[in-house]
């Protein structure tokens, strides 16, 4: 695998969607840029998310979802 510079990656993925989120941790603001380049299988991602969420709910780490 060839190591690429940031400029090369920016050029390669310039047309891909980007999401920017800001977080504050201990009084400092951080900006996270997520670049969606299409290298992941959505089925695997959703399965892993559902599995993690179910485990977190069982361990009461996050509030459970209430259906209407």
Mean pLDDT of all residues in 27-40? 87
Question: Are the C-beta atoms of residues 19 and 39 closer than 8 Å to each other?
Answer: no
> pTM score, two decimals?
0.41
Mean pLDDT of all residues in 49-61? 88
pLDDT at position 64: 62
Nearest in space to 16 (alpha carbons), one of 1, 42, 38 = 38
Look up tokens 């390669």; give the residue. Answer: 12
pLDDT at 46 over 70: yes
H-type alpha helices, the chain: 6-12, 42-58
* For the chain, domain boundaries: 6-58
């Amino acid at each position: 695998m060839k190591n690429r510079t940031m400029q090369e990656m920016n050029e390669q993925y310039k047309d891909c969607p980007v999401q920017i989120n800001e977080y504050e941790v201990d009084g400092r603001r951080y900006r996270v840029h997520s670049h969606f380049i299409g290298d992941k299988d959505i089925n695997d991602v959703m399965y892993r998310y559902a599995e993690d969420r179910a485990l977190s709910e069982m361990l009461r780490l996050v509030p459970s979802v209430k259906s209407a």
